[in-house]
Chains A and B, each alone.
Chain A
């Protein structure tokens, strides 16, 4: 791509999302889609993030709030079960943590450099009524 000349690309300020044609794309999981390198799905933007969400499945009730509210489609859910966070595209905004209704929360924000095991080991316990 770096050496592509002015006469070697399709005209217009446009980019294609997928290689070739697609069929039933809504019914195809992201990992099974043939994204081009121009698609933002192909770009790893994890370095935009300075704090990260960590998911603790022990407390998750699969309510899907985080999946609905995530502005970057970075909550991975399969068959209505929360699987985890797409860490290539998560920007660390913390909205998923904010909307998580469990006690303690099933998603918490940590500094980017904290190991997941360390984060999970220090997970808070259930808060009593005040």
Chain B
């Protein structure tokens, strides 16, 4: 069966969802098993339309739940296909059991996650609760800040995940609505250049290799389980980052667009810095530049790779900064916050430790305004001047009512 190529302009006006759908088309996904959910629906809808219109040679499997969607992806990937799907929030939560299956079975499935809050109360808008829910599931997690990133990182994801030294599933995260439904200029690759970058799918241990029959998804108990998990963790810790870097380098050569494991902005001489993810990175960069005009040496560190966690890259980026705030867009529900904890872990053994505080913001799609960030950088500078954290360690930003802070 043949398929048609699509003529794209050099720059198209796409939102994050359509950018991801176009990337799936250009990677020629064999199987998408999906149960659409807001705000990620247009990704799988887009693939289905490309398929129906003859632009993809593949299969769209409509299933009865997100659990079944990922299960279908697992089956198709074990059979030896290039496989992807998309989800958000409650659907992601329902997928969690199968996320662990996919990574333990070492199946290079790509999951586009359009980040959205988790009920209750029910909410369709963007925060990072779903993204945080899957952070121990053994997947690689890449983080987009805008539609361009959502497009580009899909190619990176396939390139890394399908590498036979890696063979781990990969999520591409984008912020619900702020990225997924905000149309921006997206620089495109031609169909040939995009497919050439990811290459033909190279099967490994596939069930359709009848000369080498294989059983996938076996059971192990105390005799073998630990070794399998250790192997998976070891590969995440040692093999994935170099392959991501290789993919970033190759992608820069192809497109001119440079991605980094940790995205540093004005960090080399910074006194104060925020560490954040998603669309907030772009807002923080804009405010950091404005703070410099006011004499505060502000910088931004954005995570491009969430898992595996870039421990040494973060440590290196932050070691000269005097006061740092982490921005967690998910309720830690009884803890300091994921970014706070991870960054604290990176910094703890340094001889000279920066001052660290954590912020909780943006839950359920609440805006992070420039004023919030101006106040935050000002507060961080006050910490530098005082030589200590002048506030409680954990503060909520943008919540109505009396000031909320802990620790």
Residues of A within 8 A of B (CB): 4-7, 9-18, 21-23, 25, 38
Contacts and interface: CB of A to CB of B under 8 A. Distances in A.
Nearest to A16: B214
Contacts of B230: 6
Interface stretch (B174-182, B215-223, B276-284): B215-223
Interface of B: 104-107, 167, 205, 210-218, 220, 226-228, 230-232, 234-235
Given A13-B228, A22-B210, 8 more contacts: A6-B228, A12-B105, A12-B106, A15-B215, A16-B212, A17-B215, A21-B211, A25-B210
Contact of B214 (A4, A7, A11, A15): A15
A22 to B, nearest CB: 6
B211 A23 contact: yes
A4 B106 CA distance: 20
- A interface majority secondary structure: loop
A13 B232 CA distance: 11
B238 to A, nearest CB: 11
Given A6-B230, A22-B211, A13 B167 contact: no
A13 B105 contact: yes
A71 to B, nearest CB: 18
Contacts of A22: 210-213
Nearest to A14: B216
Contacts of A5: 227
A60 to B, nearest CB: 33
A16 B228 CA distance: 16
A14 B228 contact: no
Contacts of B217: 13-14
Nearest to A22: B211
A10 B231 CA distance: 10
B218 A11 contact: no
Given A16-B213, A21-B211, A21-B212, A10 B205 contact: yes
A38 to B, nearest CB: 8
B305 to A, nearest CB: 21
23 contacts: A4-B227, A5-B227, A6-B228, A6-B231, A7-B234, A10-B205, A11-B106, A11-B232, A11-B235, A12-B107, A12-B205, A13-B104, A13-B106, A13-B220, A14-B215, A15-B214, A15-B215, A16-B213, A17-B214, A18-B212, A21-B212, A22-B213, A38-B215
Contacts of B210: 22, 25
B213 A17 contact: yes
Contacts of A12: 104-107, 167, 205, 216
Contacts of A18: 212-213
A36 to B, nearest CB: 10
Contacts of A10: 205
A15 B213 contact: no
A4 B224 CA distance: 9
A13 B216 contact: yes
A-B CB proximity, top 9 nearest: A12-B106, A6-B227, A6-B230, A21-B211, A17-B213, A11-B106, A14-B216, A6-B231, A15-B215
B180 to A, nearest CB: 32
Contacts of B107: 12
A15 B228 CA distance: 12
Nearest to A40: B215
A37 B235 CA distance: 27
A15 B211 contact: no
A35 B74 CA distance: 26
Nearest to A23: B211
A33 B366 CA distance: 63
Contact of B205 (A6, A7, A14, A17): A14
A14 B230 CA distance: 16
Nearest to A11: B106
A11 B213 contact: no
